Copies of this chain bind each other. A is one copy, B any other.
Amino acid sequence: MTAAPAADDITTDLPAYCQKLGEAARRAGLAMAGVSGAQRDAALQAVADALEAASDQVVQANAKDLAAAPGYGLSEAMIDRLRIDAAGVANMANAVRQIAAQPDPVGKIIEGRVLPNGIRLQKVRVPLGTVLIIFESRPNVTCDAAALCLKSGNAVVLRGGKEALHSNAAIARCVAQGLDAAGLDPAAVQLVNTTDRGAVTELLKLDTLLDVCIPRGGESLIRAVVEQSRIPVIKHYTGNCHVYVDAAADPDLAVDVVVNAKTHRTGVCNAAETVLLHQATIDNGLAERIGVALSNKGVQLRADTRSMAVMSGATPATNDDWNAEYLDLICAVRVVDTLDDAAAHINRYGSRHTDAILTQDTAAADRFVQSVDTANVMVNCSTRFSDGQQYGLGAEIGISTDKLHARGPMGAEDLTTYKWVAWGSGQVRG
């Protein structure tokens, strides 16, 4: 990216390089506060155009990363996330156009009133300022994150994984072209131009220049960032998601939804990990049907003593199973006597990501919704729906497992804050 200092700056003085990135981001962020929504959307359209025009180059750059992947010891799943084909580039461009088409989150008046002294008070949405995104091998994050930050009027510093080095650079060039075409500061989107791990440490010190850090990746990445950061971090921890099958569950619906939540895609954070079964489902045979349906999909069952008898082929669950995010064809199973016991289990072991109840009893549904302390409560549908795209937010910057600022799928509006503006005519306090 044009705003990044020359390579020799990096190798000789990493702290100075990161400081320059941060200062350029702050400058660009302050300038972005004066850029209209129309101009930001024009930049996004130009980014999408540039991506389509450079599709071959992006795919070729990605091929270099794919060739190097075995050397980094990447698993098949990781290589799969790294891969971009022409359709992948088209998808990225489409996502950018969708983001451009969304309403502008900036400038929205959240609330307002005329105070008794005549001051007109307004609480107005404004960009956060500067955002640091730290991510691993998925190069489409470069595009999504840049687009969401641009949409919301923020400057962003992107730090991708070394595995996606060439892909990220090729995508960032398209973003830079879009900024240039719309007359925006190239420092509005900066890609960190070194794979030195020390850069992350340096960037996380810049709490006067960077307003928020969003790490996207595995739990160890996020914990390391939280440990080091002086910048506020919005965390996206694990998804230890539950499906509770109530006494009043519809049996066919329950089998379908449990199987979908567990097996539709196992490696994602909104996949189910534990199924909680009301005792009544043991008695009426529904528990056994669910066990068979999961087994037929190749799921290994880890059952508590009360469900063991009806979960054929299951091995005994231990306490570790209640805490596990398997991300695999494995499912913990536990029987509970009441809905309250199910909620207590989830509040104790869950990761506050996504938890579901299956029931035809509206009072039970209401009680579960209220009792379970989680970002996403699904009633009679799969946990797999807790997703920014599914929720209609367009691309998501992540799924927050924090409670402050933003919770669950985060879109462009979650990259804003607000300011209070008091319009007076000479009022003083007496």
Task: Give the interface of A toward B (CB within 8 A).
Answer: 30, 33-34, 113, 115, 117, 119, 121, 128-129, 211-212, 232, 234, 250, 253, 256-257, 259-261, 264, 347, 365, 367, 369-371, 373-382, 384-386, 390-392, 402-405, 407-409, 417-429
Contact = CB atoms under 8 A, between A and B. Distances in A.
A121 B117 CA distance: 40
B427 A382 contact: yes
A2 to B, nearest CB: 23
Given A380-B426, A381-B427, A425-B381, A419 B232 contact: no
Nearest to A367: B34
Contacts of A429: 260, 264, 382, 384-385, 390
B425 A380 contact: yes
Nearest to A29: B373
Contact of A405 (B30, B113, B117, B404): B404
Given A117-B385, A380-B425, A382-B427, 7 more contacts: A30-B373, A34-B371, A119-B385, A212-B403, A257-B428, A384-B428, A407-B420
A385 to B, nearest CB: 6
B386 A422 contact: yes
21 contacts: A115-B391, A115-B392, A119-B381, A212-B404, A234-B404, A250-B426, A253-B425, A257-B426, A261-B428, A374-B419, A379-B423, A380-B425, A382-B424, A385-B424, A404-B404, A404-B405, A407-B417, A407-B418, A407-B420, A408-B419, A408-B420
Given A33-B371, A260-B429, A376-B422, A403 B417 contact: yes
**Number of copies of this chain that the complex holds:** 2
Contacts of A374: 419
Contacts of A419: 369, 374-377, 407-408
Contacts of A260: 428-429
Given A385-B427, A419-B375, A30 B347 contact: yes
